Structure 1
Amino acid sequence: MAEEDFSTFNMELLALVAPVLQKQLRGEMLSGEEWLLLEEWKNRSAANAALAERLENPAAVQDMLKTWHDIEKNRELNKQRGISKIKALAFDTINTNPAMRPLPRRLLRYAAAIIFLLGTGAFWWTFHKNNNQELGGNKPPGTAIIGPGHNGAILTLADGSKVVLDSMGNGVVATQYGAKVSLYNGQLAYDPVNSSATGSLIYNTVTTPKGREFRLQLPDGSKVWLNAASTVRYPTTFTDKERRVELEGEAYFEVAKNASRPFIVKLNDATAVEVLGTSFNINAYKNETAIKTTLLEGAVRLQAYQQVQTLTPGQQASISLARQQMKVISNVDIDHVMAWKNGLFDFNDASLEEVMRQLERWYDIEVIYEKGIPAIRFGGEINKKNSLQDVLQILESSNVHYRLEEGRKLVVVP
């Protein structure tokens, strides 16, 4: 049978098959009715058959679990969901089935999460994509695949010279007035010197172009993860009074504790975030409607447009740039905020424009809208390792229509 397009995939049948596949993972016997249902699903497409075959192979299941483990390891909510479901899996039942070997506990705990994802279609799509590539695929002829972003950045030194960090190996990449700047396994780090030796602060800047992410360790030991199209400016050594950096774009901070020297992130002329030692995320892209600061641990104090607000863990401050007003949201969805750092797009309740701005930054494209585009809101998550074309095919199931033109232009059409 010809391979189905994801946008027309029979989700009702998939929902019925998911618990049957879960029984297979547990090594349980299937009823005759369940075998017929499974065969019907397998015969609907070559991708279904390939996926079913992989789920029957313990080694292949372990490979799939490892893939999802890499994505899910920092997502506590999904971990707990997976753990609660995995309790139903009977290890002794698996052991009695000579066709299956027990999976390691650290991998087996994610098996139920895989079945959950399979039921939503997200898991099916990921492996449909891989199987489609193995089977030859059905990509339009002459279409250039736009791959996902990767780790990389540009370091601008105090004298204005630039160092492209994308392809550099480990070692010292620059020396700034005695301070060594080193790259180790994709992370930039500083060996600071006393600021009095230079007479003044020396600033460096790390910029991630579109399609890049990067992480660095500041001279005080604080860690910064930069999202795509972001910039952080900082001194190569901090003064005795404060630690001040400047941010444009999005970054996640883990600030080294030092009660005597507050850590300050300047976002624009009117907005700053002050902390002593904490973990938080800031989204301050110029093309977004608000600056959002989300606190994970510790405490931060925000100052914006003559307003002051202190956050506690789980709260988010949203500063409207148009209204110059600040509001605080409690019990914010931390997984949603941190999805970018954990390798995911989280489009939960996102507008078409919000989705496209994320795609612009990650795939280094330009999005153009034709007239008459309906208002659309989305839900769900997509792996950022997918190509742009893969993501767009998934979005087509939500009535998103488009065409790709030369010059990395994505035209959204009615």
Structure 2
Amino acid sequence: MTTAEQVSHLLFKHLQGTLSVEEQQQLEHWLQQSPRNRQLFNSVNDEAQLRQQLLVYQEAQQQEQPVWDKIQQLRNRPSAGTVRQVRFPRKWMWAAALCVLLAGTGVYVWNNTPGQAPDNTATVAVHDVQPGKTGAVLTLADGRQVVLDSLQNGVVAVENGARVTLKNGGLAYNGSADNTTAAPLYNTLSTPRGRQFQLVLPDGTHVWLNAASSLQYPTQFTGKERKVVVTGEAYFEVAASSTLPFTVVTGNAAVQVLGTSFNINAYNNEGLLAATLVAGSIKVSAGESTVLLKPGQQAQVNHAAAKQEVKVVRDADVAQVVAWKEGVFNFEDVTLEEAMRQLERWYDIEVTYEKKIPDIRFGGKLSRDMSLKGLLKSLEEADVHFRIEEGRRLIVLP
């Protein structure tokens, strides 16, 4: 019989990638013994689920403080200062935390009664808020709107000869060469707060839309350029063309490319428009100012400035910029207020402050798949506290 301590050891070595052939066989044997064992194994490989299970365990047990003291010792917590930071545990740290729980208590994260499936209902509190998901609204050229959240795969519309097809949570346009001389029709794809979506434009360009964003585009590209209009945030992988430049217009700025990958953050409440180049080359223009970016650089335009000009950050944190596309909150050196704006969009909540806004900066990453309650539990490591109220309202406490 495999003990909890032995399972802990195997799971931790699995995440480190250091299992021997014999240990791998032992792990496989344990996985085949019970569906609950497989579910626990899957939770170890899923950081968000593991974090949630640990939080539930913490709340359910009143005598666990010595165990959690051990978990705290696994963390590298910075000293307090005027600007405080919290660093979230990496995946292996959470695995170590689980190992401490298993070895120190001799029980599973859930109630491991023979024949009883784990009860996951406790993971959602009355005032908890679930994370955003895939979904959008497509506005056709004639004004009709199609809600894409729950539609099945297939053709959802035909616009000027172009078939609009929904497949596996994404939208694609397949145009007809017979209609290239027709006047262009425009569609708009919009993501409300708490939704994100992706689509493939008629030229093969791939676009990801973050929450509270929109993209206006023709159902077919005609003429001498390809032009789209963006609000909010979007990531582009532009299909290369030496004869048809691709232009993204947002507010008073424009981004021109031939074929490249880049991110645009143009939320009005962020203060700055930021275009970050991942690969290739882009030209960013605002007012009479124009800059040419190299990979790893970011162009910034102040929304409120009387004179529109482009400033360049030559060593941008590209991984942080595109983290949303990978399903991650990257809060490295992010202020509390900036983090709360991201949560407002993704969880579709309203954030208010009971007193003044705390002077706090975060550090580290968290999964966007976590419930709001689970995510806030991690943020509270920075000595800031929250209260979730009915009506999707989050109060930041002093």
Residue number among 145, 160, 166 corresponding to 2:128 in the alignment = 145
Question: 1-side partners of 2:299 and 2:262: how far apart?
Answer: 11
- Per-residue deviation, 1:253: 0.4
With the length of structure 1 as denominator, give the TM-score of the two structures: 0.71
Question: Matched residue pairs, number?
Answer: 326
Question: 1-side partners of 2:311 and 2:380: how far apart?
Answer: 34
Q: Describe the shift of the 1:195–1:352 C-alpha distance in structure 2 as closer, same or farther (beyond 3 A).
A: farther
Q: Is the 8 A contact 2:214 2:232 kept in 1?
A: yes
- CA offsets, 1:107-165, max 9 Å, x none? xxx99x99xxx76624355986993795889879x623311111111100001111111
With the length of structure 2 as denominator, give the TM-score of the two structures: 0.74
Question: 2-side partners of 1:258 and 1:275: how far apart?
Answer: 9
Q: Is 1:369 aligned to residue 353 of structure 2?
A: yes
Q: Is 1:159 aligned to residue 142 of structure 2?
A: yes
Residue 403 of structure 1: aligned partner: 387
Residue number among 230, 233, 255 corresponding to 2:238 in the alignment = 255
Residue 155 of structure 2: aligned partner: 172
Residue 264 of structure 1: aligned partner: 247
Secondary structure at the residue paired with 2:343?
helix
Residue 37 of structure 2: aligned partner: none
Q: Letter of the aligned partner of 1:240 in structure 2?
A: G
Where structure 2 has 5 or more consecutive residues not aligned to the other structure, the ranges are 30-43, 51-73, 76-87, 102-107, 112-117
Where structure 1 has 5 or more consecutive residues not aligned to the other structure, the ranges are 1-48, 66-84, 103-109
Secondary structure at the residue paired with 1:56?
helix
Residue 286 of structure 2: aligned partner: 304
Residue number among 229, 236, 240 corresponding to 2:212 in the alignment = 229
Q: How does 1:267-306 map to 2 (within 5 A)?
A: 267-268=250-251, 270-306=252-288
Q: Letter of the aligned partner of 2:9 in structure 1?
A: E
Question: 2-side partners of 1:157 and 1:100: how far apart?
Answer: 53
Q: Describe the shift of the 1:148–1:53 C-alpha distance in structure 2 as closer, same or farther (beyond 3 A).
A: farther
Question: 2-side partners of 1:96 and 1:176: how far apart?
Answer: 58
Residue number among 200, 208, 233 corresponding to 1:217 in the alignment = 200
Which 10-residue stretch deviates more, 357-366 or 330-339?
Answer: 330-339
Question: 2-side partners of 1:136 and 1:95: how far apart?
Answer: 33
- Per-residue deviation, 1:186: 1.1
Q: Is 1:325 aligned to residue 343 of structure 2?
A: no
Residue 364 of structure 2: aligned partner: 380
Q: Letter of the aligned partner of 2:344 in structure 1?
A: E
Q: Is 1:56 aligned to residue 5 of structure 2?
A: no
Percentage identity across paired residues of the two chains: 47
- CA offsets, 1:208-259, max 9 Å, x none? 1111111100000000011111100000001130000000011110000001
Question: 2-side partners of 1:54 and 1:237: how far apart?
Answer: 57
Secondary structure at the residue paired with 1:340?
helix
CA RMSD of aligned residues (A): 3.3
Q: Letter of the aligned partner of 1:151 in structure 2?
A: T
Q: Is the 8 A contact 1:195 1:237 kept in 2?
A: no
Residue 390 of structure 1: aligned partner: 374
- Per-residue deviation, 1:334: 1.7
Residue 9 of structure 1: aligned partner: none
Question: 1-side partners of 2:94 and 2:379: how far apart?
Answer: 12
- Per-residue deviation, 1:176: 1.0
Secondary structure at the residue paired with 1:190?
strand
- Per-residue deviation, 1:96: 7.9
- Per-residue deviation, 1:100: 5.6
Secondary structure at the residue paired with 2:339?
helix
Residue 67 of structure 2: aligned partner: none
Q: Is 1:121 aligned to residue 89 of structure 2?
A: yes
Q: Is the 8 A contact 1:284 1:291 kept in 2?
A: yes
Q: Is the 8 A contact 1:54 1:61 kept in 2?
A: no
Question: 2-side partners of 1:187 and 1:315: how far apart?
Answer: 29
Q: Is the 8 A contact 2:241 2:258 kept in 1?
A: yes
Which 10-residue stretch deviates more, 191-200 or 165-174?
Answer: 191-200
Q: Is the 8 A contact 2:161 2:179 kept in 1?
A: no
Residue 34 of structure 2: aligned partner: none
Question: 2-side partners of 1:147 and 1:214: how far apart?
Answer: 17
